[in-house]
Amino acid sequence: MSSSLTLPAFKGSLVQVSILQGGYIHGSTRFFTETLIPGHDSWAAPAHSFLIENKSQGKKVLFDLGVMKAWKEKQPPASESYKHANILIIVLISS
């Protein structure tokens, strides 16, 4: 099968992308949906961040989708909802 995809010419700049595991969230599926699928009553979702580096230009960008270290203090209403729904939030990276 041939592809009609045409890529632009390389102009000499590449980036390196690294994924950082910042934590995860684990909880009951019932917190998000009314109808449960048998065998899928809980879920776990990773909380990742991405470091994008252009080494030839010496530039870095962090695209942070991780869990905030102080999420309980910064988001009290959400914290109470998560507590009542038995949602566990684990932060793996700390400074």
67, with CB counted inside 10 A (0-12, 13-18, 19+), is buried
Report the mean per-residue pLDDT for the chain.
81
Closest to 50 in 3D by CA, of 91, 25, 16: 16
Provide the pLDDT for residue 13.
78
- The predicted-structure confidence for 4-49, as pLDDT tens digits, reads as follows 888 888 887 789 999 988 888 888 887 777 788 888 888 888 888 8
- 68 compared with 25, residue with greater pLDDT: 25
| pTM more than 0.85 | no
